[in-house]
Amino acid sequence: MTPDAHTQPKPQAPHLASENVATAQLWRTRNQRRATAIDGCIEHLMVDHDMTERAAEDATLQAYADLESLNKVHAIELAASTSRLLVIKTPGGARIALTVSDLLSLLKPYHLEAANRESRRLLVLENAPH
């Protein structure tokens, strides 16, 4: 007996990891302002994928950084970075060390915009220099 097409379960799309869902959402909104795209992605993950706010923020920020770093050779050196030090590797092998104080000083001339309108605790650079 051959199975009836009406009784066979429909194939389902694979469940994507939160980073992949965030990347797809951010790609769809890539022409929006940074804060708007990030806020929309956080909301999408919370509402449509039942993620906590913090998990949605983290997945969104990591996906945003991945998309923004495409075709770039600078990278954060995780093994040397700490909660108070960020080490960036340059293409020539040089390492740039920035403390939290250094980073805050660099941010002073720029406008920070809320990227999570619900909590207003997540701030990002708007019109970040590239």
Tell me the pLDDT tens digit for each residue of 20-33: 899 999 999 999 99
Where residue 99 falls (left for φ over 0; alpha for ψ -120 to 50; beta otherwise) is beta
Per the CB < 8 A criterion, the answer to whether 95 and 87 are in contact is yes
Helix, strand, coil share of the chain (percent; to 5): 40, 15, 45
Q: What is the pLDDT of residue 82?
A: 97
pLDDT tens for 51-76 read 999 999 999 999 999 999 988 999 99
Distance CA 129, CA 106 (A): 12
Within the chain, residue ranges assigned H as helices are 18-28, 34-48, 53-68, 100-107
Q: How far apart are CA 125 and CA 52, in angstroms?
A: 23
C-beta separation of 41 from 58 below 8 A:
no
Mean pLDDT computed over 106-117: 88
Quote the Cα angle for 46-69-108, to 5°: 80
Residue 10: pLDDT band by 50, 70, 90 thresholds?
Answer: low
Could you say which DSSP state residue 109 is in? T
For residues 120 and 103, give the distance between their C-alpha atoms in angstroms, rounded to a whole number: 21
